[in-house]
Structure 1
Amino acid sequence: AAIPEDRRRIVEDAVLFRDPAAAARLAELAMATMDGAVAPAPAPRGGVEIAPPQARLETAVATGSATGLEGAVAEALDELRRQGRADADAALALLEGPLMAGLATVGEAFGAGRLFLPQVLKSAQVMKQASALLEPLIAARAADAGATAARKPKMLVATVKGDVHDIGKNIVATVMRCNGWDVADLGVMVECERILEHAREHDVDVVGLSGLITPSLDEMVRVAQAFEAAGLDIPLVVGGAAVSELHTAVKIAPAYSGIVACGGDASSMPGLCASLLPGPGRRVATATHAERQEKLRRLYAQSREPRIAPEAARARAAANGMPAPCVIAPRDPAVHVYRDIPHGELLPLIPWTMLLSGFGFKSAAAQRSAEALELLRDAKTFLAGLPLASGATLRVHGVSGIFPAWAEDETIHATIDGADVAITVARDLRTSGTGDCFADRLPRRGAAPGWIGMQAVCAGSGLDAVVEALGGSRGGYLAMVAAVLANCLAEAGAEWLHRKTVEAHWGGEGLGERPAPGYPACPDHALKRVIFDALGAERAIDARLTSSFMIVPEAATCCFLVR
């Protein structure tokens, strides 16, 4: 069948980049043509009758467009009043009727993979705006003692103690609300005791724990142990960059007799959490998770690769040819601070694929989609519009220094403020590994002088002010764009500072590498403290370390420079 001319034009406009607004129209067309979706309300033209107000409300949420929202709410309320409904009843009917129907359409489409995360966030924002218009009327309902709303399933989400990562948590909270859940977000760096107390006091159905860095995994184990000691059986869903299904099975699940499930992408969370609600489904889920995790534990025990002794690994690295130690003397080894690095200098270095991945566009095909291109345009427009009218902006600060250093085996000895500071890093001890260690790049003691660089970058010190200027909700679409963009700016800032340090203060050929604490080359997160103390980073870049060595704010990095 031939494609209708109006639809063909929308698709061509988006594919050929003929109109900046084409991607938004294509998203609306996709919503209108998917199974069970709500058709967008026709625009008023002359004497042509527009859709009824309740249909327009459903469409507004389903398409994430707030155009005409206030008028549609007012008309829908008047319509229900004429039918004899009291204000509170009319407002509640709109909230539980067309608005929730539009949100359900979005949640179902997202879960089925027919919709991307930015559309969900926009729809949630429209729902929030509509709710704000109706809440004053619904509040009057509280005086009616006989009125009780149907109970929604309850979920608690929190980033565990010592961790400030909240982007993934905020996304999950938004998606779950779009699927009809009552979500309590306790925020970041949440103590185990507070999570336990809230879960018990508010009778939650599922607890979601988030963490970005590896020490957070140990904190999740402590939460599981606390729930076990309290005799609870509330399902725990763990997620975040540091969490894997294998680690969940091997380390966290054995600490709790209840369900501990590993959460995947945000789109999978509604289905997973629904399977954990009380009832026959939970019994099936319990058996399924237990069987799967026991299998993973057996496979893990069977597949662990033996480790070789450090002496054997050093010999292997030597046999493969040790790298020549870098003995380039820096022109200026002092600590240098860079405040408010211009966004214009960072723009060519921003990893835009990182931003797309943060919103669920992970495959190459998805990153070429109209929705991804619209997100990129939104992010670039937002960045170009900084500072906001309030003066709020994403400030990027950096600090770096170069220090005398030598190495013995896996320990680097750096001279910082006249004192010897030991930095122990990792060597590849795998049976199939190379035996490499980046300490091998430094000269031995007594040889020609060697040097090691250190740097730290923060791009998140202005994020709170930006979010406040955008309305104060970290779950809003533009607030989420700002948060992910801050992380991208931190990565761009790390590359910018690396180049600046080598080219302006060190000299020589080649930039070298940036091994960072918490990663395989130097897995000890405590080494961040060495970098922060050496550079005076807390004052220089407006950042600090938590008790588990997470950098606050989240949009920040620190690393060594090895050449």
Structure 2
Amino acid sequence: GLLMYGMNFVGDLFGAGKMFLPQVVKSARVMKKAVAHLIPFIEQQKAASGGSRSNGKIIMATVKGDVHDIGKNIVGVVLQCNNFEVIDLGVMVPCERILETARREGADMIGLSGLITPSLDEMVHVAREMQRQGFDTPLLIGGATTSPAHTSVKIDPHYKGPVVYVKDASRSVGICQQLATAGRPRDEFVTRVKSDHAVRREQHQGKKTKGPQLTLAQARANRFNGDWEAYAPPVPRFLGLRVFEDYSLEDLTRYIDWMPFFNAWEFGGKFPDILTDPVVGEQVSSLYADARRMLKQVIHEGWLTARGVIGLFPANSVDDDDVEVYADESRSRVLARLHFLRQQKGKPDGQSHDALADFIAPRSSGRRDYVGAFAVTAGHGIESHLERFKRAHDDYSSIMLKALADRLAEAFAERLHERVRREFWGYAPEERLANEQLIKENYRGIRPAPGYPACPDHTEKATLWKLLDPEANAGVRITESFAMYPTAAVSGWYFSHPGARYFAVGKIGLDQVQNYAARKKISLEEAQRWLSPNLGYDPDSDADAA
């Protein structure tokens, strides 16, 4: 009783903004350790009193094909602090298992999480199955790739029960408490949520009618100008693959971008300014000290192993938006073909409509250009430590280690890109940048990742895997939805042109999707499925898409 009173008090302080997430998770660690000692007595008490009351039972899962769970785990801990019973099914959980567990356990709510865009389709599938199987259980949607708009437009129409978007842990408690309260307050909340969905769908429809403002042909005519007559592409110092078996974590620490680490704990701002922030500075500084202590252990006790592979290849752009990758300098045998997408939205005069292929010399130019690829991880060895923390009821250390592994993987990608620029490709041998400049990308060249705004199609990772074989060379595999495992992994392409820049493809038209499907030799339906977040039209209702 006193333990739950204490945790409810912690939950109330968190909800009121008077306590921050690291404190909540640390408090939960104390509670769980205490409960573990008291379980025999608690079970006796339950048997004598006919059970104990919680605020509700919630099934949580990262959907099939997705391996990311830091955010989900944080939400689970916060809900447990507020007297909800959480059954966490883990990652890559099939729809059938989620719904079977919900039925068997008599769940009051089902929470779905996902980080990569293909997970959005899997969430739609779960909603459809819940409707088909006659569920009326509230469905909670969360994760980095989700949004209020997607929840309203794509998920809610397929399920008559409540579908609620949960932005983060701080919102989760209030939402779940309203859904767990019987009677009029709950009904009013559900009605308001459904009404909000309808409004967002109308707004979305209004945006759709505007659509892309240029045809694909017009966008291609306004491409980035690489000045290929005057520009001589730099020649890499080696061609082919280079494998890194056990990269020094010590070397990577100075490349860590700490702000995403604090974002994972729901702190905003800029590093290092956030350490002295008058409101959150004390808590952020304490969290940072804990992170540095664990990072020291990770390095000195060898908790994690960093492995990676890079490749540098002869390449030329072809057919406007594709890039051919060649086996050698004879350029007679094509190893792979990279497929990219082009911006179609209207832009002010003087701004180009970019595709990544624009940054590689066209074959017709006669220039011999090159492209690079990479896949790295800092997640090998993490599972045994996560299991150790689980046995010790230590969510705080578990979340901390996952967040640090993610930062080390990103630092590894940053470090190798620096070495590519200075050594391996060697087009910037004199570059000497501080970490702040690296974080701001104040250097020549880019390393865009499949699934991110400049190349949003996750399926292009299949080509990257074909070129690098990261499973054999770095121990990194991809799931059916093209999530990478170990989770602390980064992959992408290297472009060296001084004009290369990051951009968002944004919404694209049916003409480009049809062209893309033809170039990739896949059906229009499959292309639309993988590019769903980028479609500037509705494939279900647009007559032209039939």
Q: Secondary structure at the match of 2:240?
A: coil
Question: Distance between the aligned counterparts of 1:516 and 1:264, measured in 2?
Answer: 25
- How far apart are residue 475 of structure 1 and its match? 5.9
Q: In 1, are the aligned partners of 2:32 and 2:393 still within 8 Å (CA)?
A: no
Aligned twin of 1:312: 218
Match for residue 427 of structure 1 among 336, 342, 354: 342
Q: Secondary structure at the match of 2:397?
A: helix
Unpaired segments of 5 or more residues in structure 2? Answer: 429-442, 497-546
- How far apart are residue 323 of structure 1 and its match? 5.5
Is the alpha carbon distance of 1:356 and 1:143 closer, same or farther for their aligned partners in structure 2, counting shifts above 3 Å?
A: closer
Mapped pair 1:521 → 2:454: yes
Q: Secondary structure at the match of 2:291?
A: helix
- How far apart are residue 451 of structure 1 and its match? 0.5
Aligned twin of 2:362: 444
Aligned twin of 1:406: 316
TM-score, reference length from structure 2 = 0.81
Question: Distance between the aligned counterparts of 2:90 and 2:419, measured in 1?
Answer: 36
Aligned twin of 2:503: none
- Report matched runs for 1:48-447 at 5 Å: 96=1, 98-141=2-45, 144=48, 147-277=50-180, 278-304=182-208, 305-307=210-212, 308-317=214-223, 321-322=225-226, 324=228, 327-364=233-270, 368=277, 369-387=281-299, 393-408=303-318, 409-416=320-327, 418-432=333-347, 434-446=352-364, 447=366
- Cα RMSD (Å) of the superposition? 1.9
Is the alpha carbon distance of 1:208 and 1:159 closer, same or farther for their aligned partners in structure 2, counting shifts above 3 Å?
A: same
- How far apart are residue 148 of structure 1 and its match? 2.6
- How far apart are residue 226 of structure 1 and its match? 0.2
Question: Distance between the aligned counterparts of 1:252 and 1:434, measured in 2?
Answer: 35
Unpaired segments of 5 or more residues in structure 1? Answer: 1-95
Mapped pair 1:540 → 2:452: no
- Greater shift, 377-386 or 173-182, is seen at 377-386
TM-score, reference length from structure 1 = 0.79
Is the alpha carbon distance of 1:514 and 1:475 closer, same or farther for their aligned partners in structure 2, counting shifts above 3 Å?
A: farther
- How far apart are residue 149 of structure 1 and its match? 2.0
Q: Which amino acid aligns with 2:179?
A: L
Question: Distance between the aligned counterparts of 1:188 and 1:172, measured in 2?
Answer: 14
Q: Which amino acid aligns with 2:406?
A: N
Question: Distance between the aligned counterparts of 1:240 and 1:265, measured in 2?
Answer: 8
Per-residue CA deviations over 1:179-215 (Å, capped at 9, x if unaligned) read 0001100100000011111112211111110000000
Q: Which amino acid aligns with 1:423?
A: L
- How far apart are residue 386 of structure 1 and its match? 2.4
- Identity, % of aligned pairs? 38
Question: Distance between the aligned counterparts of 2:46 and 2:51, measured in 1?
Answer: 9
- How far apart are residue 350 of structure 1 and its match? 0.3
Q: In 1, are the aligned partners of 2:324 and 2:334 still within 8 Å (CA)?
A: no
Is the alpha carbon distance of 1:398 and 1:472 closer, same or farther for their aligned partners in structure 2, counting shifts above 3 Å?
A: farther
Q: Secondary structure at the match of 1:406?
A: strand
Question: Distance between the aligned counterparts of 1:512 and 1:458, measured in 2?
Answer: 21
Q: Which amino acid aligns with 1:295?
A: V
- How far apart are residue 511 of structure 1 and its match? 4.0
- Report matched runs for 1:438-517 at 5 Å: 438-446=356-364, 447-472=366-391, 476-509=395-428, 511-517=444-450
Question: Distance between the aligned counterparts of 2:413 and 2:379, measured in 1?
Answer: 13
Q: In 2, are the aligned partners of 1:220 and 1:252 still within 8 Å (CA)?
A: yes
Question: Distance between the aligned counterparts of 2:115 and 2:390, measured in 1?
Answer: 26
Per-residue CA deviations over 1:66-122 (Å, capped at 9, x if unaligned) read xxxxxxxxxxxxxxxxxxxxxxxxxxxxxx2x2111111111111111111110111
Is the alpha carbon distance of 1:190 and 1:282 closer, same or farther for their aligned partners in structure 2, counting shifts above 3 Å?
A: same
- Greater shift, 495-504 or 362-371, is seen at 362-371
Structure with greater Cα Rg: 1
Question: Distance between the aligned counterparts of 2:118 and 2:154, measured in 1?
Answer: 13
Q: In 1, are the aligned partners of 2:315 and 2:360 still within 8 Å (CA)?
A: yes
Q: Secondary structure at the match of 2:247?
A: coil
Q: Secondary structure at the match of 1:226?
A: helix
Is the alpha carbon distance of 1:543 and 1:299 closer, same or farther for their aligned partners in structure 2, counting shifts above 3 Å?
A: same
Q: Secondary structure at the match of 1:268?
A: helix
How many residues align structurally?
Answer: 462
Is the alpha carbon distance of 1:540 and 1:259 closer, same or farther for their aligned partners in structure 2, counting shifts above 3 Å?
A: same
